[in-house]
Amino acid sequence: MPFRFVHTADIHLDSPLRSLAMRNPDLAALIGDSTRQALVAIVDLCLDERVDALIIAGDLYDGDQTSMKTARFLAEQMERLHHGGIVVFKVRGNHDALSKITQELILPPSLKLFGGRAEAIEFRVGDIDLAIHGLSFSRPHAPESLLSKYGRPRPGAVNLGIMHTSLAGTAGHDLYAPCAVHELHEWGFDYWALGHIHVRSEYAGASTVVMPGMPQGRDIGEAGPKTVSLVTVGDDRSIVIEERATSVAQFERISIDLSGAVSWAEVVDRVERKVVAVREATAASHLVGRLSLEGRTPLAWRLRRDRDLLQNEIEHRLGGSARTWIDKVEISAEAPGGTSPIGRGVDPLDELGALIRDEIGQQHGVRQSVITLVKELRDDLPPEARRFCGQDETEFESFVDRLLGESGEEIVARLAQDSAELR
């Protein structure tokens, strides 16, 4: 009789989405509820597949949560598993360590929450002896490896370890309980159920080491399909992993080449076709697309000036495409080389654009003012919304360069269109 379990992490229940709410309240409401719906999907999967256990490798919560609605919702989902005969093994991650709900919740006895001292739970399923090892951290910081605190493999048993760790470090994630993948392989466990990094990875070696990623993305920085792992441990100790989709809404970056487009209708047609194609290839119930309009077209100036009108028209066109949302429209399209937006040879507006881009934008005072404004905006946003300007200093500088360049192009685009209309 095999032992089967679902492995997930980083659900971040009720994660705040303030920056998204400012742009589109309806979309924010959808995404704001999507972490709950992802947990419901995980519980449904456990019940449908009749697994033996659910493993949650940290960050079930999103931080200093105080809402008892979240507590009641979580308790209801854990009760569903309890009544289905499914046990839950959970460790706290860095976000869970902040949560007050952790101390206040009354959860069913079938849920095992590992404490600050590593322990192993031993039991038997059919002919398989199992030992599940876990360790939580009580504070939001764990600068040193936790691996040495875990017990060694129990002889004769299939040993599963649960750990919340940044491994050797990943951009966009705090350093947390760092350790090397080869150290996990050398520890001797059969399976390591990891959490903390929001991108799925499987690490081949002596052990099966899996970072499942998060089951639901919350913004464009967490784009792509999101899944959990359905794991089967066979009577022969073999381990088989299946990915199962869980996200309600899937974020995607969608690039559209507008090269040669000469009419507004043609632009909208191309965008609609590309978005519909991506929608058809998306397993999640909702697609949230960030559009990037590229290529050379004489409409480049108008696209920049009337970006809001373009987005409204695209959304209107997509009204027949169920559950498709436009998060944002980014424009990098350029006018064809050697042509003027208003049909003259050497256009002073082109010279103005070059001046803004190459000289004014690079002046220390101007650049420093922009940097200060961006940092002030970034620091006023919640942590999960601060990635818009990059993950490190190099990416931040590139963001400022792009901002200065696009600002100059926006100014010239508006002047060019106004001039053309006057003619």
18 versus 400: the higher-pLDDT residue is 400
Q: Residue 57 corresponds to which amino acid?
A: A
Q: Are residues 306 and 333 in the same domain?
A: yes
Mean pLDDT of 302-320: 88
pLDDT tens for residues 100-142?
555 566 789 999 999 889 999 999 999 999 999 999 877 767 7
Q: Mark which of 229, 245, 261 sits at the end of a domain.
A: 245
Question: How many angstroms separate the Cα of 253 from the Cα of each of 56, 171, 317, 347?
Answer: 29, 19, 19, 34
Mean pLDDT of 172-177: 70
Going by pLDDT thresholds of 50, 70 and 90, the confidence category of residue 144 is confident
Angstrom distance (rounded) from CA 133 to CA 124: 15
Give the pLDDT of residue 129: 97
Going by pLDDT thresholds of 50, 70 and 90, the confidence category of residue 239 is very high
Give the pLDDT of residue 29: 83
Residues 6 or more apart whose CB falls under 8 angstroms from that of 32 comprise 14, 15, 16, 17, 21
Angstrom distance (rounded) from CA 337 to CA 304: 17
Going by pLDDT thresholds of 50, 70 and 90, the confidence category of residue 346 is very low
For residue 197, give the nearest of 164, 228, 223 by alpha carbon.
164
Q: Are residues 104 and 190 in the same domain?
A: yes
Q: Are residues 230 and 312 in the same domain?
A: no
Q: Mark which of 201, 226, 245 sits at the end of a domain.
A: 245
Angstrom distance (rounded) from CA 59 to CA 46: 19
Q: Are residues 225 and 265 in the same domain?
A: no
Q: Residue 370 corresponds to which amino acid?
A: V
Mean pLDDT of 347-369: 58
Q: Mark which of 339, 366, 398 sits at the end of a domain.
A: 339
Q: Are residues 78 and 175 in the same domain?
A: yes
Give the pLDDT of residue 351: 52
Angstrom distance (rounded) from CA 44 to CA 92: 23
Give the pLDDT of residue 26: 81
Q: Are residues 28 and 113 in the same domain?
A: yes
Angstrom distance (rounded) from CA 146 to CA 142: 8
Q: Are residues 352 and 325 in the same domain?
A: no
Q: Are residues 320 and 374 in the same domain?
A: no
Share of the chain above pLDDT 70, in %: 78
Q: Are residues 327 and 394 in the same domain?
A: no
Quickly tell me which residue has 């990943």 as its tokens.
170
For the chain, what's the residue count? 423
Name the CA radius of gyration of the chain, rounded. 26
Answer yes or no: is pLDDT of 84 > 50. Answer: yes
Q: Are residues 352 and 313 in the same domain?
A: no
Answer yes or no: is pLDDT of 98 > 90. Answer: no
Q: Are residues 47 and 188 in the same domain?
A: yes
CATH number at residue 209: 3.60.21.10
Q: Residue 186 corresponds to which amino acid?
A: E
Mean pLDDT of 176-185: 92
Extract the tokens encoding 69: 């609605």
Q: Are residues 353 and 280 in the same domain?
A: no
Sign of the alpha-carbon torsion through 412, 414, 420, 422: negative
Domain count of the chain? 3
pLDDT tens for residues 5-50?
999 999 998 876 655 555 677 888 888 889 999 999 999 999 999 9
Please list the residues that pair with 103 across neighbouring strands.
none
| Domain hosting residue 8, numbered range | 3-245
Phi, psi torsion values for 208, nearest 5 degrees: -95, 110
